[in-house]
């Protein structure tokens, strides 16, 4: 056996043992109150209540909260995105902090956990015939962060609810961070930065972490519509 192969094997075993031992020695604690958790999670049931996590659906145009019983393809206002599916409020400091922590300190697991929470909530809506997709980032940003949080969320929801993913969208140029830009600047910043590279399915849910002014999601929805998509929804953790 070549020496390098053996070395690699030993390294893998050590890594595995390390992971197992840290899980035993350092079990899961609530990110907020440090209480012990039985399962891999970030918040205990009490702290979870604070972020008021629950399925809410809205008309993205007039902001009307729709009853859950209403079909997500039903609309009150003409709009490219027919329904916004969301779960918490970005004004809630705890959820905002968790999302920032995940994004800027590269904790991918936070988004896997949020994807799990979302899946439990949305399974009551009929999503039959819907595909998921996500707001893409450029290869450069994905490399820097190590992942794209929108993609992680979509993949986790897809895995749990068995929904197919449409991945043929690219972000073709870098854009500026939107937070310090006004609405008009955001629109110009994001214009034509997405490319749909093959014909999309008719029914699609675009996943992203948060929606603020909605310029990114609408720009992408516009491109998807031009490529033949009929029913476009958006799904975000927060609004
Ligand atoms: Zn807690
Ligand atoms: Zn409306």
- Residue given tokens 């920032």 in the structure block: 100
User: Do the beta carbons of residue 108 and residue 102 sit within 8 Å?
Assistant: yes
User: Do the beta carbons of residue 182 and residue 157 sit within 8 Å?
Assistant: no
Q: Write down the architecture of domain 53-238 according to CATH.
A: 3-Layer(aba) Sandwich (3.40)
Give the 3-state secondary structure percentages of the chain, helix then strand then coil, rounded to 5: 40, 20, 40
239 SS3 class: coil
Residue 5 has pLDDT above 90, yes or no: no
Q: For the chain, what percent of residues have pLDDT higher than 90?
A: 69
pLDDT at residue 193, as a whole number: 94
Ion ligand 1 neighbours (CB, 5 A) are 30, 32-33, 35, 44, 47
**Residue 179 Cα, ligand 2 centroid: separation in angstroms?**
26
Who contacts 83 (Cβ-Cβ below 8 Å, separation ≥6)? 57, 58, 59, 60, 66, 72, 73, 75, 233, 234
Given pLDDT bands bounded at 50, 70 and 90, which one contains residue 15?
A: low
**Residue 157 Cα, ligand 2 centroid: separation in angstroms?**
27
Who contacts 193 (Cβ-Cβ below 8 Å, separation ≥6)? 171, 172, 173, 175, 219
Residue 27 has pLDDT above 70, yes or no: no
Who contacts 207 (Cβ-Cβ below 8 Å, separation ≥6)? 132, 133, 134, 135, 150, 153, 154, 157, 234, 235, 236
Nearest ligand to the C-alpha of residue 37?
1
Given pLDDT bands bounded at 50, 70 and 90, which one contains residue 24?
A: low
Ion ligand 2 neighbours (CB, 5 A) are 59, 61-62, 64, 76-77
**Residue 188 Cα, ligand 2 centroid: separation in angstroms?**
25
Neighbour tally for 137: CB within 10 Å: 20
**Residue 27 Cα, ligand 2 centroid: separation in angstroms?**
46
Nearest ligand to the C-alpha of residue 50?
1
**Residue 233 Cα, ligand 2 centroid: separation in angstroms?**
14
pTM comes to 0.87
């Amino acid at each position: 056996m070549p020496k390098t192969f053996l070395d690699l094997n030993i390294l893998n075993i050590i890594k595995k043992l390390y992971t197992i031992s840290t899980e035993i020695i350092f079990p899961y604690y609530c990110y907020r109150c440090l209480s012990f958790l039985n399962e891999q999670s970030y918040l205990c049931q009490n702290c979870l209540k604070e972020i008021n996590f629950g399925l809410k659906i809205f008309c993205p145009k007039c902001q009307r909260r729709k009853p859950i019983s209403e079909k997500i393809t039903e609309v009150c206002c003409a709009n490219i995105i027919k329904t916004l599916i969301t779960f918490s409020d970005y004004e809630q400091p705890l959820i905002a902090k968790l999302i920032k922590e995940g994004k800027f300190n590269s904790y991918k697991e936070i988004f896997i956990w949020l994807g799990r929470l979302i899946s439990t909530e949305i399974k009551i809506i009929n999503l039959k015939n819907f595909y998921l997709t996500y707001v893409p980032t450029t290869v450069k940003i994905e490399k820097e962060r190590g992942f794209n949080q929108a993609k992680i969320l979509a993949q986790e929801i897809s895995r749990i609810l068995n929904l197919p993913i449409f991945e043929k969208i690219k972000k073709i140029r870098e854009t500026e961070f939107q937070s310090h830009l006004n609405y008009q600047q955001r629109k110009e910043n994001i214009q034509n930065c997405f490319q749909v590279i093959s014909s999309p399915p008719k029914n699609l849910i675009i996943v992203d972490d948060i929606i603020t002014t909605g310029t990114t999601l609408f720009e992408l929805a516009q491109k998807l519509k031009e490529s033949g998509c009929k029913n476009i929804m958006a799904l975000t953790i927060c609004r």
